[in-house]
Amino acid sequence: MPALPLDEAGKYVAGAYVVFVALLGIYVAIMAVRIDRMRAELADLAELAERQAASSAEAKREEVRT
């Protein structure tokens, strides 16, 4: 198989490495979105836990009063 001249071969080599980096980038971006969603959900759960804790404290106070 005859070797391609460097100026012609270069674009294919660059293409292959760019494809690899691009796929890696897409994967990292997808994972970043997933982690961001998890972070939002955790914040949501933290808020829910705080509300529940506040409600139970209020209930205890009410029980003491009655």
Binding stretches for another protein (CB under 8 A): 1, 3-6, 8-10, 12-13, 15-17, 19-20, 23-24, 27, 31, 34-35, 37-45, 47-49, 51-52, 55-56, 58-59, 62
Contacts of 3 (CB under 8 A, 6+ apart): 9
Sequence letter at residue 8: E
Least CB distance from residue 49 to another protein, whole Å? 6
Are 7 and 1 in contact, with CB atoms under 8 Å apart?
Answer: no
Pull the structure tokens for residue 22: 């691009």
Least CB distance from residue 29 to another protein, whole Å? 13
